[in-house]
Amino acid sequence: MSSDSLAKPRWWEHSVIYEIYVRSFQDSNGDGIGDLPGIIQRLDYLRNDTSDSLGIDAIWLTPIYPSPLYDYGYDVSDYTGIDPAYGSLDDFDRLAREAEQHEIKIVLDFVLNHSSHMHPWFLESRSNKQSDRRDWYVWKDPTPEGGPPNNWQSVFGGPAWTLDEPTGQYYLHSFLPQQPDLNWRNPSLRKAMHDVVRFWIQRGVSGFRLDATAFIGKDAQLRDNLAVAPTSGTSGLGVSYPLRNMNHPDMHDWLRELRHVVDEDGIERFLVSEIYDLDDDAIALLHGSEGPEMSMSFNFELIGCSWHAESYRNAVESFSDSLPSGATPNTALNNHDQSRSISRFGADGCGRERARLVAMLQFALPGATFIYYGEEIGMLDGVIPPDRIRDPVGLRSLDKALNPGRDPERTPMQWSSGLGAGFTTGEAWLPLGSTAQEINVELECRVPESMLTLYRSLISLRTTQQALRVGQYRAFDDVPDNVYLFERDSGSQTVLVALNFASEPRKVPIQSWKSAVVLACTHVRQERERIEGAISLRPLEGVILEHSS
Ligand code: NOJ
């Protein structure tokens, strides 16, 4: 690998990565399912030369591969194909070409821990104990008493083992029985997965999001977990403790091997791991403390915050404090497994104001920013009647009205107030959000105070202001209760970010600066308003200020 190419600035270091839940983004053929030609139609919305576009740098596509859909694409039956519902390889190639013209990178979801039970590899593996591919999955005899080999639990509930009666052995599935775990200890399986990433890199992909990364690291002897804690979290993605079913240190060797493969032609590519509940050592390792591994590990800390300035500040700083020097931090407020942020913190009716405030926080912080389709217009969780639930977490839920699973955050993108919300001319695969009349792109494009206008202006500010791009972060302690105040200082420019998380006004001294001008605000203020000595913030107001002499 030439050191020259690796010395160039990495495109993701200050990027905005937009997650597209492909099935729900844009349907182009009226079957009610989002698809690749639909994404092509919306590239201009995502980025073009005008100030009317969002200005993102990359799209992360949820799985587009053929799948029997037990876990809506996270059960892959062919790693190098496109599910016909989403289009064809030709459509993918066109997307890659057109995305490049729009200067948008493509990041694919790589479901590396498990395949579908319909994948030919698994069919072959289960066909007999002598199969060459038997060891590509995790098989084990029953215990002498005749039960599952150990006490591991599946993330979606119940034992992580299913008996295959014809061969008399159990296979492991950390998720659904229809998602058998691949055996990353097997070198030929790893080689086959390397060939998968090569295939997509040759088709123009710039990186991968590694689904459920921690689960590839299993105890070599498949020993019991010592105790099993109840599953936690809003989406059923809880885990068992202490963990022998995940995070085994050997996985870092396999991740470094994968890093080597994705960079083998001398271009450093983007890899982001999905791992919950990371400790500091694991964060450091993933970010390269022992050699190139991930470009970053998806940061879930902000998603778990309670509504208080201190909670957000702690989350930001605890993550970045554990990074080795030179590593890129990242933030996210939403993804396809979590209730949408406005719904999460909006029970008192102030969700929209809060979402504006944390959007300002997110875009003013160093590093990469992940946003989830619809977040930029302020989409809420949809309401899913029990008979329309598709997500396996919802289907397994005992109280489907109370816990419908993850479909609420996956409802179709709200493009307009017209029929099908501009998403489809047919019947959408999931119910449209009931807010589509008021919360949609077409409407918000024209409203200066809309969420979309705020997102566009914050993304643009982040690219045009040097301090927001590369400035050092420093937070201030001596601030009124429930205010988060920090600066970004690039040497030639300093900006101050003042965020009032309180439901009452706050007066915040602007440090040693005598005066400053407002660059951006979550509320209406006069353009480039001049501030002297202290800034008065309204409830849930945030501002970005620039020093002025
Ligand atoms: C994590 C993904 O984000 C989630 O949607 C999926 O169900 C599991 N991994 C299993 O692949």
Cα separation, 156 vs 385, in Å, equals 21
What pLDDT was estimated at residue 549? 67
> With 70 as the cut, is the pLDDT of residue 163 above it?
yes
Q: Is the CB of 301 under 6 A from ligand 1?
A: no
Q: Is the CB of 182 under 6 A from ligand 1?
A: no
What pLDDT was estimated at residue 220? 96
Cα separation, 74 vs 76, in Å, equals 6
Q: Is the CB of 298 under 6 A from ligand 1?
A: no
**What residues contact residue 48 under an 8 Å CB cut-off, 6+ apart?**
102
**What residues contact residue 549 under an 8 Å CB cut-off, 6+ apart?**
515
> With 70 as the cut, is the pLDDT of residue 335 above it?
yes
Of residues 6 and 188, more confidently modeled:
188
> With 60 as the cut, is the pLDDT of residue 241 above it?
no
What pLDDT was estimated at residue 240? 43
> With 60 as the cut, is the pLDDT of residue 127 above it?
yes
> With 70 as the cut, is the pLDDT of residue 344 above it?
yes
> With 80 as the cut, is the pLDDT of residue 186 above it?
yes
Describe the crossing of helices 351-364 and 451-464 by its angle, rounded to 10 degrees.
Answer: 10
Give the pLDDT band of residue 227 (cuts 50, 70, 90): low
Task: Provide the β-strand partners of residue 296.
Answer: 272
Q: Strands, E, within 358-489: which ranges? A: 368-372, 472-475, 483-489
Cα separation, 87 vs 85, in Å, equals 6
Residue among 431, 373, 433, 429 at smallest CA distance from 85: 429
What pLDDT was estimated at residue 232? 42
Query: pLDDT tens digits, residue range 142-151?
Result: 999 999 999 9
Cα separation, 152 vs 162, in Å, equals 11
Query: pLDDT tens digits, residue range 403-429?
Result: 999 999 999 999 999 999 999 999 999
> With 90 as the cut, is the pLDDT of residue 183 above it?
yes
Q: Kindly report the backbone phi and psi dihedral angles of residue 330, in degrees, each rounded to the nearest multiple of 5, phi listed first.
A: -155, 160
359 CA → ligand 1 middle, Å: 25
Give the angle subtended at the CA of 512 by the CAs of 510 and 517, to the nearest 5°.
45
Atom 4 of ligand 1, residue of closest alpha carbon:
337
Cα separation, 396 vs 399, in Å, equals 9
Give the angle subtended at the CA of 129 by the CAs of 123 and 130, to the nearest 5°.
100
Query: pLDDT tens digits, residue range 446-500?
Result: 999 999 999 999 999 999 999 999 999 999 999 999 999 999 999 999 999 999 9
> With 70 as the cut, is the pLDDT of residue 131 above it?
yes
Give the pLDDT band of residue 511 (cuts 50, 70, 90): confident
Give the pLDDT band of residue 512 (cuts 50, 70, 90): confident
What pLDDT was estimated at residue 283? 93
Q: H or E segment at 270?
A: strand 270-273
What pLDDT was estimated at residue 233? 38
What pLDDT was estimated at residue 242? 60
The answer to pTM > 0.85 is yes
**What residues contact residue 449 under an 8 Å CB cut-off, 6+ apart?**
524
What mean pLDDT comes out for the span 360-366?
A: 98
Q: What are the residue numbers of the active site?
A: 211, 274
3-state helix, strand, coil in the chain (%, to 5): 30, 15, 55
474: its two tokens: 């420093």
75 CA → ligand 1 middle, Å: 9
Query: pLDDT tens digits, residue range 91-120?
Result: 999 999 999 999 999 999 999 999 999 999
Please report, as a single letter, which amino acid is at residue 87.
Answer: G
What pLDDT was estimated at residue 237? 43
Q: Is the CB of 376 under 6 A from ligand 1?
A: no
What mean pLDDT comes out for the span 431-457?
A: 97
Q: Is the CB of 261 under 6 A from ligand 1?
A: no
Q: Kindly report the backbone phi and psi dihedral angles of residue 161, in degrees, each rounded to the nearest multiple of 5, phi listed first.
A: -125, 140
Atom 5 of ligand 1, residue of closest alpha carbon:
337
